[in-house]
Amino acid sequence: MKLYYSKGAASLIVRIMIHEMNLACIFESVDLKTKITETGGDFLNITPKGYVPALKVDDKTILTETAVILQYLADQQHATALLPELGNINRYRVLEWANFVSTELHKNCAVLLNPNIHDATKDILFNTGLKMKLNMVNDHLSKNQYLVQDQFTIADGYLFTVLFWLPHFLKIELSSWPHLVSYFLKLKNRSSIQAAFQEEIIEEIAEAI
């Protein structure tokens, strides 16, 4: 198995879960601007989407889309603590959160990072979009230890990484959301998260987590 990644990007979520499940994996970095991989390969030949994460699961199969890769890995490993089994309602709760983090948080962060969008527009987009969603997640975490049923799941690995991006890449401090802060501080000590951060972003780790 090989994970195509870029330092600190969405591929970090997959790396966390690879550590969480103790899986063997090769990691190859991608220059997202030139679309050239660490070994000189054309990333667009690997996936025409041109974005990470992309997981090569065998010689013929490349999987993309963070939420789906996480689901695939958990299912392959029968890691039912990270993603409950088919038919269990909590499976759909975990997938509901993973899809929420993907489409409502992750993608809204990408908009705020777009250098072609003016700051004033970004402020409006933040105040009417991402901020409301973070308020809602903060409220949920005021009553729950994790996103689903007091159990760390694939959705928590995803949310943790998005929360890391907010101050680190978007200059949005978490202090307005005290329950997001305590959740972040609790999760940062997980060995899978520590290992993934140490591998990818060694120099920023002290500041970040």
> Does residue 204 touch ligand GSH according to CB under 6 A?
no
> Does residue 51 touch ligand GSH according to CB under 6 A?
yes
> Does residue 44 touch ligand GSH according to CB under 6 A?
no
The interface region with ligand GSH, picked from 38-46, 48-56, 130-138, 188-196 by CB under 6 A, is 48-56
User: Side-chain half-sphere of 78: how many Cα atoms within 13 Å?
Assistant: 0
> Does residue 28 touch ligand GSH according to CB under 6 A?
no
Smallest gap from residue 129 Cβ to ligand GSH (A): 17
Contact at 8 Å (CB) between 146 and 156?
Answer: yes
> Does residue 32 touch ligand GSH according to CB under 6 A?
yes
Count of CB atoms within 10 A of residue 118's CB?
8
Verify cis geometry, omega within 30 degrees of 0, for the bond prior to 167.
no
Quick one: DSSP state of residue 204? G
Structure tokens at 15: 């790396």
> Does residue 52 touch ligand GSH according to CB under 6 A?
yes
In angstroms, the CA 5 to CA 27 distance is 7
Among positions 3, 9, 148, 193, the unique one binding ligand GSH when judged by CB under 6 A: 9
How many chain residues are in contact with ligand GSH, going by CB under 6 A? 11
Among positions 29, 37, 66, 71, the unique one binding ligand GSH when judged by CB under 6 A: 66
Structure tokens at 204: 């920023």
Query: Which amino acid is located at 158 in the chain?
Result: Y
Segment 68 to 127, residues that bind ligand GSH, using CB under 6 A:
102, 110
In angstroms, the CA 92 to CA 43 distance is 33
Q: List interacting residues with ligand GSH (CB under 6 A).
A: 9-10, 32, 50-53, 65-66, 102, 110
